[in-house]
Chain A
Amino acid sequence: MKNNSICHNLFLFFLLIFINVNAQDNDGLYLSKMTGINSVSYTDVYYTGSKDTVLVSKYDGTIEQIVKGSPKSKKVAKINDEIYAITYNFKRKHIAASTLENGIVIINKQNGKVIKKLSLIQTWALRIDYSNDSKFLFANDQRGNRFIWDVDDNYNPIKLPEVMPKGSIYSIKNNVITLITSKKIILWNFLKRELIKEINISASRIADVDLFNNYLNLNFNSCDFFDVAKGKSLFSLQHPSWIRPVESIGGEDAARTSGFLVKNGFFEDTHYQMALTSAKFAKNRIYTASIDKSIRVWDKETGTLIDNLIGHKGTVNKIKVNATENQLVSIDLLGGIKFWNLLD
């Protein structure tokens, strides 16, 4: 009996060893789906402090907090979906993230947990934001559907009245919705349900609107500054060159031999005026970002090029300006982020 027990145990022992040694480790070999994503790229950035502190999102569903000068980022949340846009509710400390499959996901910034998922009708949203009083959250999907949720009422959706003018929701400030179409900027009082103002425009992709409803319109590689008071476009901005590190052409001598002007390890190739990705107003300046990996600084009054902000190693896909307009943050498709202090 005793011998049988020992034999039995020895058999089990060797069986376990055999199973363990021959176990196939396929972790990471198989994917649940094909995504075609760049896992290092930042997809959006949002200021959570007056300056120096931002939230960033990634295609892999990660949201991190980055502080200027800090070598490490802090993971705030991770969801199992792609994130394209984020915004932040300062009062409730909620992060709203626009995703591929789950609509808008509301996350508690304190513990990283998902509070609620707000469904969209079709596709996904590329522009979301809270109202300036943090009471409403809005989104526009890619099929032209518009959504507003009441934050104080547990994010219940608000049925939009039929009298609300057409257009994408750009912002909600003091109960006034700014709606944008390719032909008009419309200011509409959300509570009184009445039209405040209509401004005729001609735009393809509005990148920013200032306090006076002047706007920046992006059209491939040009950025038009439209002055509403004057009723016309004042000037069109194009990055005049592609500024590249001299290593990309074989060193300083090679760059000079090719006829390029070399400065601080970079050379300017004036044959290229690359597509623009983002543009922002800040005080008396205009900032434009491009797939040429640079940000250019322009005078808002004259359209004169003032400075080149270089150092990104990939396409600069988003730029954001803080509330006091003394700092700009830029992110790129290769996971780079830079803070730029803005001078008057």
Chain B
Amino acid sequence: MKTRIISIVSFLNLIFFAFYLFAFTAKKDETVINYNDKVLKVRGIVIVDSLGIERAILGAHIPEPNFANGHRIAARGKGGSISGLMLYDHEGQERGGYVTDDGFGNVFLTLDSKTNQQVLLIAEPQGGAAFKMWDRGDNSIHLNVTKEASNLEIIEKGKLIQIKSDEK
């Protein structure tokens, strides 16, 4: 009986001692692990700056954008419907991305100011493509190609500028 008690006490002692030792185990792993032959399979990667502000997200799906007033806007549907790479400025505002959308099947590149989208380059699933850049409404350039036609539209101060066609 005495041996059994000593055995139990020594066993418990070893457990407590192990935990005591664990308190000193600083996990400084300074070895460089080589992942050259590994494939990373994840839902998303988030890049943060020194303040912890998220500056780039590579993921599916991308979250809804935050705006200058300090709130998130329901711009893409609550679940989010676009995937790809999204860039954020030093204040966390969405400023552009290179993404695909689930709804139409478009792939597009966007560049945004702090208040609006300013540049859009898009390829549609059926074969068309468009490039559009604009200020806040009065000036824009729109270039698009479809199966039916190719178009260049320049609007300056709200007025369509005529482009000479069939120029030799």
Give chain A's interface residues, CB within 8 Å of chain B.
1-2, 5-6, 9-10, 12-13, 16-17, 20-21, 25, 31, 33-44, 59, 82, 84-85, 100, 122-124, 126, 142-143, 220, 275, 277-278, 291, 314-315, 317-318, 331, 333-334
Number of A-B contacts defined by CB within 8 Å: 122
B122 at the interface (CB under 8 A from A): no
Q: A9-B10, A17-B18 are in contact. Are A43 and B46 (CB under 8 A)?
A: no
* B residues near A21, Cβ cutoff 8 Å: 25
Least Cβ–Cβ distance between B63 and chain A, in angstroms: 4
Closest 4 CB pairs of A and B: A38-B92, A84-B71, A16-B18, A333-B91
Least Cβ–Cβ distance between A284 and chain B, in angstroms: 26
A35 in contact with B63 (CB, 8 Å):
yes
A337 to B90, CA, bound (A): 18
Give chain B's interface residues, CB within 8 Å of chain A.
3, 7, 10-11, 14-15, 17-19, 21-22, 25, 27, 43-44, 46, 51-54, 57, 59, 62-66, 68-74, 78, 86, 88, 90-94, 114-115, 136
* A residues near B94, Cβ cutoff 8 Å: 36
A277 to B93, CA, bound (A): 14
* B residues near A44, Cβ cutoff 8 Å: 70
A36 in contact with B63 (CB, 8 Å):
yes
B57 in contact with A315 (CB, 8 Å):
no
In the complex, the chain A residue whose C-beta lies closest to that of B7 is: A5
In the complex, the chain B residue whose C-beta lies closest to that of A143 is: B74
* CB<8 Å pairs between A and B, sample of 7: A9-B10, A35-B63, A39-B52, A59-B92, A142-B74, A220-B115, A333-B91
A2 in contact with B3 (CB, 8 Å):
yes
B68 in contact with A275 (CB, 8 Å):
yes
Q: A9-B7, A315-B68, A315-B91 are in contact. Are A40 and B53 (CB under 8 A)?
A: yes
Q: Could you say which of B43, B53, B63, B92 has the most chain A C-beta atoms within 10 Å of its C-beta?
A: B92
B71 in contact with A38 (CB, 8 Å):
no
B14 in contact with A278 (CB, 8 Å):
no
Q: A13-B18, A317-B70 are in contact. Are A333 and B10 (CB under 8 A)?
A: no
Least Cβ–Cβ distance between A127 and chain B, in angstroms: 10
A9 to B3, CA, bound (A): 14
